[in-house]
Amino acid sequence: MKKNNYNYIIVAGCSRFGANIASMLSLQGKDVVVLDNDSRSFRKLSPGYSGFTNIADATDIDELTRAGIEKADVVVAATNDDNTNIMIAQIASKIFNVPKVVSRLYDTEKEIVYQDFNIQIIYPSRLSMNEFEKLILTDDMEVLK
Amino acid sequence: MNIVMVGGRRKIDFLAKSLLSKKQHVTMIHDDENYCKYLSRTHDAPVIYGDGSKPYILEDANIQEADIVIALTPYDADNLVICQLAKKVYGVQRVFATVSNPKNVEVFKKLGISTAISSTYIMAGTIEQMASINEMANFIPLEEGKIVVMEIVVQENSPVCGKTLAEVPIPEQAIIGCIIRGVNSIIPRGKTQIQTDDKLIILSPPAVQRKIIKLIVGRDDI
């Protein structure tokens, strides 16, 4: 039997973003592990979340190993700190060869450190910009009508 | 040399003092405003207040001209990003980082920063060795412990006391590089005799370390 893609996912950082992704993937029937060093963060997970929650420092390679990073298909670096996300994503991609690594990055000036790495980046600031442009554009069109 | 240092409290204070006394050009970056005031009062060097992992702050410190960047913040992730920015974006030749998690020495190396220093790592190794063997006066691991420098004091009852170097069956991978006798240091030859209270400076890989200790101290109860 062929293994389905992306069945084992580690979400590092139970931020709003991390918690929503974890909840969504868990509802889709994936195996999800969420790591956060503050147990109170896990309340953001939806009531239907059926994955694991580990209280752990996700920049620690032993904690990542314990969370099963060696067999992970996807790692999402979703903490609220850019530098922590950079470190987690680089560890996942370079040291554990995780096939798909996604990282959130607020500061677009730092994207250069992801050069030479196989890491997908989500830029909240750029996404907001795009959305803003779309809203303004539609407003303009309505004015023109 | 132009040196940029980021973060850390006692570390940056101490290093700045030491480097400035050697006439180096030092620029300090710190993210605590009050500590910045203290640094600029204490040292005759520019101090920049801000997050040193931000490119524009690093540029304020004129990082393009820096020969050495030293990241001393308490957060390993911050130090990693500072070093990577310095190296990749600004082409700084030599970068150093301290790490608080000793495991991150290896991690940093794999991520392209080969000069991560963990005080815990160094301290743990030193204490472990010095505590276990009385005669061990000093112990310094080099190259992540691939090679160690030991300083062993020869006691009266030592099996090697009174022998010449040629008579001591030192394992092939190791060498007695120097003998400290009182205020003199002797580079030993085969005929050099080992005496009581000599300090032997021995260079060896950790694999034969035990053998050497047994040879010189007479026991190996580590």
- pLDDT tens, per residue, chain B with 222 residues: 899 999 988 899 999 999 999 999 999 999 999 999 999 999 999 999 999 999 999 999 999 999 999 999 999 999 999 999 999 999 999 999 999 998 999 999 999 998 898 888 888 877 877 777 777 878 888 887 788 898 888 888 888 888 888 888 888 889 999 999 988 888 988 888 898 888 999 999 988 888 888 888 876 655
Residue type, A117: F
Looking at chain A, the whole-number percentage of residues with pLDDT higher than 70 is 92
Helices and strands per DSSP (H, E), number in chain B: 7, 11
Encoding tokens for residue B83?
């070093």
Q: What is the pLDDT of residue A2?
A: 41
C-alpha to C-alpha distance for B70 and B163, rounded to whole angstroms: 47
Tell me the fold of B133-217: Alpha-Beta Plaits (3.30.70)
- Please say whether the beta carbons of A123 and A108 come within 8 A: yes
Cβ within 8 Å of A, B 77-116:
77-78, 80-81, 84-85, 88-89, 101, 103-104, 106-107, 110-111
Place of tokens 């420092």: A57
Residue ranges, CATH 3.40.50.720, chain B: 2-117
- Interface test mutation site (partner A, options B53, B79, B106, B114, max chain A beta carbons within 10 A): B53
The domain B2-117 belongs to what CATH superfamily? NAD(P)-binding Rossmann-like Domain (3.40.50.720)
Angstrom distances, CA of residue A88 to CA of A49, A59, A81: 23, 5, 11
Range of the domain at A128: 8-144
pLDDT digits (tens, 9 = 90+) for A94-140: 999 999 999 999 999 898 888 889 999 999 999 999 999 888 877 66
- The answer, for A94 touching chain B at a CB cutoff of 8 Å, is yes
- Picking from A95, A107, A109, the nearest residue to B110 by CB comes out as A95
Residue A136 lies in a domain: yes
If you average pLDDT over residues A43-56, what whole number do you get? Answer: 93
CATH of the domain at A129: 3.40.50.720
Distance CA A130, CA B81 (A): 27
Closest chain B residue by Cα to residue A112: B89
Structural domains counted in chain A: 1
Q: What is the pTM of this model?
A: 0.78
User: Do A61 and B103 make contact, defined as CB atoms within 8 angstroms?
Assistant: yes
Contacts of B76 (CB under 8 A, 6+ apart): A59, A87, B97, B99, B100, B101, B104
d(CA B117, CA B120): 9
Whether residue A37 lies inside any domain: the answer is yes
